[in-house]
Chain A
Amino acid sequence: MNPHRRSPFVLISTALVYFFLYAPIIVLIIFAFNSSRTNVLFGGFITKYGPLQMDGSTVTQSPCGQFHWFCELAKNSEVKTATKNTLTIAIISTLTSTIIGTLAALALQRYNFRLKSFSQVSLYIPIVIPEIVMGIGILVLFSQLFSFLNNSLSLAGDARLTMGLSTVILAHIAFSIPFVTLIVQARLQGLDRFVEEAAMDLGANELITFWRVTLPSIMPGVLSGALLAFTLSLDDFVITFFTTGPGASTLPIYVYGLLRRIITPQVNALSTVWVLVVFTVVLVSQRIQNRGT
């Protein structure tokens, strides 16, 4: 039926592109089990009872066996702080942007009001401008606002307003809202209005109708919007980079800092954990989407 389907050209190029996508990730994971500390060359896998090469000299085996670099990672206090920050930012911004974005989707899909087309257009802007432009804009806003407030209120020392977790959270909420809104809007479009009208005819008021009929039927959209917001927040580098401050670094920012200094297989261990987390999140989100359709 379909002339191209079994074309060897398509098959071979597909295989090659998948290889291109996965080879770097597999190399990352293999090097997380590297027995050489410098991580430039692969010193062989850490064997369960084998020795580790540390800066040329050989030291005794690691108590964690093959998972030496994962243990080192778990002990690293900078990684702990960065993980805590990353999760705090992701959880708060996901919850907030999901609620705000869902309300916006309802407004845009079900109501007519004065600023409707303006709102719809403004939601597309973050998607079509480079991330750095938005990051720079927020940096300029907060730095000008904070220096104005610090000077006019003559704040000093610890009382001075600086960039930090809260500015990052606000920025993440701002860039997540459009994605949540667009996803929930798409879901609302496909929703049969008759069900809602039937509920109203049967005597349910707007609130009960929303709670018992509308919300359950758009829930898959809301959940995948929330998952996307969560992933976007975990993954974000550029906007976080420009809106963060001392003590508020996230995992991507921490890794970027490391890459410009010395790299040990700890970074690979961290990457391996990251790939596993992504694997799980994507699996869960696909499940949600399939249940929804």
Chain B
Amino acid sequence: MLKRFRENKATQGTLLISPTLIFMIGLLLIPLLLTLVISFGRRAPDGTVIYDFSFDNYIRLSGIRTECANGAAVCFDPIYAEILTRSLTLAFNTTVIAILLAYPLSYFIARAPAKKRNTYLFLILVPMWTNFVIRVYAWMMLLRTQGVINSVLGWLTGLVGLSFTPLEILYTPSAVLVGMVYEFLPFMILPLYTSLEKIDLSLYEAAADLGANRIRTFLRVTLPLSMPGIVAGTILVFVPVMGTFIVSDLLGGRQIVLVGNLIQNQFLIARDPTFGSTASLVLMSLTLIVTYFYTRKFGFGEEIISA
């Protein structure tokens, strides 16, 4: 019996994977399926779920209304479409800014002497692992009307004898954008560094020998070879920005509603888990679609786990 078990590799493998499968099925797949089931349900007056099979939540999210103010049979309420476009635009802008900021830095680290690289990476990891909420708080302190940035600007303009009206940055879309870039920048830097570091330096010699100038070398050698890093970084930045609600909550002052805020609001304030589940599934589908097409176009490297 024992001998048979020892020789049966398949049974051993199944035994080793089973605790993981229990967690992945129990706390990932079943919850996702339940979210799907509930999204077709209805909300009871006391906030509990009535299991049903109706598309009401999906129709509500699409913005198509049958009760219209002007008496028309069907009209369009753009509120949720606006939330979705706002989130997508923000995720896109954050990603683009993160690529632009991360590229020179990652390049610098990748080309630094091997001994110093660890120190430079260490300096990226410390802010990255400093708690998310704490980092948002730091930006609240910086951006407030009486905050650090305004104080410094006021002091500087005072030095040159100009008058200064404090900038109202906190609770604006720009504050949310800055906060998002700050929160997720390290997730762009690390995969980009990994792919830049792998580039064979003799390629640069070859490019130089063939008479390519700096710009041409960058466009023809560095950039194409760093694409896996950009792809991995984009996924690691774009996906979480779409679902984050704290940054917009604390730096946007609740006026800037993103998909994450909509979901959180439905579960904790409006107490409609069915509509919240619908929004959550739409968010997941959107990010999976973006990830799928993006990786299919550019490939999916090991860089994704480097962060």
Residues of A near any B CB (own CB < 8 A):
1-5, 7, 9-11, 13-14, 17-18, 20-25, 27-28, 31, 39-42, 100-101, 103-104, 106-108, 110-116, 119, 122-123, 125-134, 136-141, 143-144, 147, 170-171, 173-174, 177, 181-183, 186, 206, 231, 234-235, 237-238, 242, 251-252, 255-256, 259-260, 263, 267, 270-271, 274-275, 278-279, 281-283, 286, 290
Contact = CB atoms under 8 A, between A and B. Distances in A.
B108 A271 contact: no
Contacts of A147: 48
Contact of B133 (A1, A24, A237): A237
Interface of B: 6, 9-14, 16-17, 19-21, 23-32, 34-35, 38, 48-49, 101-102, 104-105, 107-108, 111, 118, 121-127, 129-142, 144, 146-148, 151, 182, 185-186, 201, 204-205, 208, 214, 217-218, 222, 235, 239-240, 242-246, 250, 260, 263-264, 267, 273, 276-277, 280-281, 283-284, 287-288, 291, 304-305
A174 B27 contact: yes
Contacts of A143: 273
Given A107-B17, A237-B133, A274-B134, A21 B127 contact: yes
B131 A11 contact: no
Contact of A111 (B12, B205, B208, B214): B12
A126 B28 contact: yes
Given A3-B204, A13-B105, A128 B125 contact: no
12 contacts: A2-B111, A10-B108, A25-B130, A27-B148, A113-B17, A122-B29, A127-B305, A128-B291, A129-B288, A137-B31, A141-B27, A255-B134
A101 B105 CA distance: 33
B122 A286 contact: yes
B13 A138 contact: no
A40, A113, A140, A141 interface centre (most CB from chain B within 10 Å): A140
Contacts of A23: 142
Given A2-B204, A22-B127, A40-B144, A130 B30 contact: no
Contact of B34 (A140, A251, A283): A140
Contacts of B132: 235, 237, 252
A271 B35 contact: no
A11 B104 CA distance: 8
A123 B111 CA distance: 33
B20 A119 contact: yes
B137 A271 contact: yes
Contacts of A274: 130-131, 134
A4 B218 contact: yes
B287 to A, nearest CB: 6
B205 A1 contact: yes
B20 A144 contact: no
Nearest to A287: B118
Contact of B28 (A9, A39, A174, A260): A174
Given A21-B127, A112-B13, A141-B34, A4 B291 contact: no
A26 to B, nearest CB: 9
Contacts of B218: 4
